[in-house]
Amino acid sequence: MIDSLLRHFNERRKLFQSPIDLEPLARPTLPISGFKVVAQSSFIGEENVAVPNIGFIYCFFESTLQFDGNTGVQRTARQTARALMEYGCKVIATTWDKDVESLAPLTPKELLHLSKWDGPSTDQWHQWVNPKFSPDNSWLMSNEMPPNLGPGINCKLINFAKANNMKTAVTFFDAIPCLLLNLYPAGSYQLHFSYMKQLTEWDLIFPISEQSANDMLALLSELDIDQQLLIPKLKPLRLPTEFHGSPRKMNYPIVLNARPFILVLSTFEKRKNHLTLFRAIEIAQRSFTFGFDLILVGHPLETEVVKLANQYQRKFPSIRIEHNASDQQLQDLFDRADFTIYPSIEEGFGLPIAESIWNGKPVICDKFRAINDLASEGGCLQVDVLNAEEFADAIVTLATNLEIYRLKLAEIDARAFITWADYVSNINFAMSNAI
């Protein structure tokens, strides 16, 4: 199984061996097959009443406090905490104090930072209680990626929790740095592999998709780890497709706009595949008599990709770039958009796809692995996003074919949406069964 996984990605790594301004190679057409280790956990559907035998849940924050943005990881960290509170859990915000080697409360400024982007308000948190005096069956929970993946704080958190008789739970996002080596700096594989190995010490691990769980198991399979002990810890829970604070929207147009308004919500990094997106737009725009508008919204993570976007913006002035859109600005863009594009080639889940569908907008996206798991349930026009011609055809289709456009809207209307209440209900259930 591990050989099958790595063979697949050894081929895909070749796509990024050339400089970004050169033609990418074709992607293999054969997906990974016969690789199912952990099945997606089913949703419990219980009433939103917290299980009474759970004590405090100490939500750990580090990277979210240091980052003034709202990528999928930060959104997950904020919304999981908020949803646990609304479920009825007693949630305490905490971080690590290096001076005293202990969990510590957040400052008022840090709590205010967490309240951004529809995070918990500062008065929703339970008052600070020293973990030494926490009630039985209390938990330490981390729902973000640590800023540094070395042994550091992660090991200290585990040791601290054990010393204070606390259970531990962690969200696992993906194994991508171990799968697409050429996209990450030297040493990233070793750091991320070490991070995944550390996670096996936690009592519960919540991968954000079945694919992430299986990738983790496949990559760790060569270690001397008893998988019969590890697998019960893994509770794959697909992230919610509900977006709190924004009502679900549907809009069936009578006609399509002669000048399509297209939204791309994505971090600026090579994995998000902006290169092929721009080449597809260059082809597709020939079919738009009245031009087009393409709005790119996302954190400028990699300078090389930002430079590429600026280059194409000079070539096509109707391309607009927003690196720091507020919630309201983003909502206005969704309201105006005809459809969205998510050009990424690999994800643990694909939150921008879910967000677009929640806003009633069809999505053009990839057709492999975790992205396919989410997109195939409806509302998406799936293509090989590394094939510029196929990509361009999809853009023209959604922009000009009203029948297909309305079909995608009908698929969105028929989709079942996982709510944050569903999500934390499963977390709460898993915690109560682990005590």
**Can you tell me the mean pLDDT for 246-264?**
88
Whole-angstrom Cα distance, residue 360 to residue 160?
A: 45
Percent of the chain whose predicted confidence (pLDDT) is above 90: 74
- Residue 126 near residue 56 (C-beta atoms within 8 A): yes
- Residue 317 Cα to chain centre, angstroms: 30
For residue 220 the two structure tokens come to 């760790």
**Can you tell me the mean pLDDT for 333-341?**
96
pLDDT tens per residue, range 23-58: 342 333 323 333 344 445 444 444 445 556 899 999
pLDDT tens per residue, range 143-191: 998 877 666 677 889 999 999 999 999 999 999 999 998 888 889 999 9
Q: Are residues 405 and 424 in the same domain?
A: no
Q: Are residues 333 and 278 in the same domain?
A: yes
For residue 330, tell me if it sits in a domain.
yes
- Residue 177 near residue 184 (C-beta atoms within 8 A): yes
For residue 296, tell me if it sits in a domain.
yes
For residue 385, the domain's CATH number is: 3.40.50.2000
Q: Are residues 410 and 424 in the same domain?
A: no
* pLDDT above 70 for 366: yes
Give the dihedral sign, CA 74/76/80/86: positive
For residue 255, tell me if it sits in a domain.
no
pLDDT tens per residue, range 195-205: 999 999 999 99
Q: Are residues 74 and 194 in the same domain?
A: yes
- Residue 349 near residue 373 (C-beta atoms within 8 A): no
Strands annotated E in 173-292: 204-207, 261-265
Q: Are residues 192 and 83 in the same domain?
A: yes
For residue 5 the two structure tokens come to 């996984």
Whole-angstrom Cα distance, residue 154 to residue 63?
A: 12
Residue with tokens 């002035």: 317
For residue 15, tell me if it sits in a domain.
no
Q: What pLDDT, on a 0 to 100 scale, did the predictor assign at position 152? A: 65
Give the dihedral sign, CA 27/28/33/37: negative
Long-range contacts of range 13-22, CB-CB < 8 Å, 24 or more positions apart? 13/180, 13/181, 13/182, 15/345, 15/386, 16/180, 16/182, 16/183, 16/270, 17/182, 20/270, 20/275, 20/304, 20/305, 20/308, 21/308
For residue 366, tell me if it sits in a domain.
yes
Tell me which residue range forms the domain holding 45.
Answer: 36-240+419-434
Q: Are residues 343 and 304 in the same domain?
A: yes
Report the domain count for the chain: 2
Q: Are residues 199 and 114 in the same domain?
A: yes
Phi-psi category of residue 287: left, alpha or beta, with phi > 0 → left and psi -120 to 50 → alpha:
alpha
For residue 28, tell me if it sits in a domain.
no
Position 312 confidence tier, pLDDT thresholds 50, 70, 90: very high
Residue with tokens 């010490």: 201
Q: What pLDDT, on a 0 to 100 scale, did the predictor assign at position 223? A: 82
Q: Are residues 339 and 375 in the same domain?
A: yes
Q: Are residues 70 and 151 in the same domain?
A: yes
Whole-angstrom Cα distance, residue 364 to residue 380?
A: 6
For residue 267, tell me if it sits in a domain.
yes
**Closest to 64 measured CA to CA, from 200, 156, 171:** 171
Point out the least confidently predicted range of 259-268, 314-323, 325-334: 325-334
**Can you tell me the mean pLDDT for 335-344?**
97
Strands annotated E in 324-408: 339-341, 363-365, 380-382
Does 86 or 250 have the greater pLDDT score?
86
- Residue 199 near residue 171 (C-beta atoms within 8 A): no
Angle between helices 388-400 and 274-284 (to 10 degrees): 60
Strands annotated E in 202-349: 204-207, 261-265, 293-297, 319-322, 339-341
Q: Are residues 225 and 267 in the same domain?
A: no
Longest dimension (CA), the chain: 69
pLDDT tens per residue, range 214-234: 999 999 987 877 788 899 999
For residue 21, tell me if it sits in a domain.
no
Whole-angstrom Cα distance, residue 319 to residue 262?
A: 10
Q: Are residues 272 and 201 in the same domain?
A: no
- Residue 97 Cα to chain centre, angstroms: 28
Position 96 confidence tier, pLDDT thresholds 50, 70, 90: very high
Task: For the chain, give the mean pLDDT.
Answer: 88
Q: What pLDDT, on a 0 to 100 scale, did the predictor assign at position 43? A: 42
Q: Are residues 206 and 116 in the same domain?
A: yes
